[in-house]
A and B are shown apart, each in its own frame.
Chain A
Amino acid sequence: MKSKKISTYGLLIALAFILSYIEAMFPLPVPIPGIKLGLANLVVIVALYTMGAKEAFVLSIIRIILVGFTFGSLSTMLFSLAGGLLSWLLMSVLKYIGIFSHVGVSIVGGVSHNIGQIITSILIMENINIIYYLPFLLISGLLCGAVIGIVGGMIIQRIKKP
C-alpha cells in the first residue's frame, strides 16, 4: 500500500469517527426513533468517488466496528452493519452503472441504509408490523441522503484537484 493511500484511509476514518461522535451527541429532534443524518455516510461517499468501491467498503466496516465498540453495543453494531453493507452495495453498483450523479447515489445510500436496518429489526423482533416505520424512514433517508450527497459533492470536487 502506498503511503498516500494509508494516510487517506487514516484521515477519512478519523473524520468518520468524529462525525459519528457529533451525531451521537446531537440527535435530531423528531419523534421517530433511529432517524439520523447519517453524517458518517459523507465519508463513505467521498471514499467511493475519490478512492473506489473496495476502499469505501473497508472504510465502512472499520468505521462501524470502531463506532460500535465506542458509542454503541453489539446489537447496534449489527444494525449498522446491515444498513452499511446494503447501502455500500447499492451505491457501488449505481456509481458503476452511472445513471445517477453523486446526489442520487447518496439518496439511494440513505434510503437503503434504513431499509437494511428495518429488515434486520423485523427479523430480530419477529414482528412484521415494524414495517409501519418504513415510510417515515424512507422520507428521512431521502432528505438526509440528498443533503449528504450535495455536501459530499463539494468535498469530492476539492479533493480531486491536485
Chain B
Amino acid sequence: MIKKNDLILIGVILCICLAAFAIMLLSRKEGSKLIVYLNGEVYKSFPLDEDIEFTVNQEDGSYNTFVIKDGEVDMIDASCPDKLCVKDRSIHYNNETIVCLPNKLVLEIANGVEDDIDMIAR
C-alpha cells in the first residue's frame, strides 16, 4: 500500500520543517515595538514596554482590540466572524505576527534597530 517514495516524501518534509524551526529558534530576538498594519500599510506603532489596550476601528464598522501587557501582544476581541486572530497565541519575538485576514489587519513585532532600516527601505 504505502510506497517507499511516500516515506521519503515524509522524511523530506520533516527535514524542511526541522530546518525552518531551527532557523527560527536561532535567529529570534525579543522585539521592542509593535507595528499595526492595515490594508498592507503602517497604521500605528507602539512600544512594547508600555501596557495599553487599543482598538482599531475601521470605517465599515469592523474592529480589532489588542493589549500590550508585560511586553507581550495579544488580540482580545475582533469583529471578524471566525475569530482566528483572537484565538492566536500572544507574540513578543521579532517578526512574529497575528493576522486578521477578514479585517486585513496585521500585528507585527519589530526590533527597534531593524525597524529604522525597514522604514528607510520603504
Contacts and interface: CB of A to CB of B under 8 A. Distances in A.
The B contact surface, by secondary structure, is mixed
The A contact surface, by secondary structure, is helix
Interface in B20-48: 20-21, 24, 37, 39-40
B101 A127 contact: no
Contact of A107 (B13, B82, B101): B13
Give the size category of B's interface with A: 20 to 34
B6 A142 contact: no
Contact of A79 (B9, B95, B101): B101
B5 interface: yes
Interface of B: 1-3, 5-6, 9-10, 13-14, 16-17, 20-21, 24, 37, 39-40, 81-82, 84-85, 87-89, 95-97, 99, 101-102, 104, 106, 108
Given A121-B101, A124-B104, 9 more contacts: A31-B89, A34-B84, A73-B81, A99-B5, A101-B1, A125-B101, A132-B97, A135-B20, A135-B24
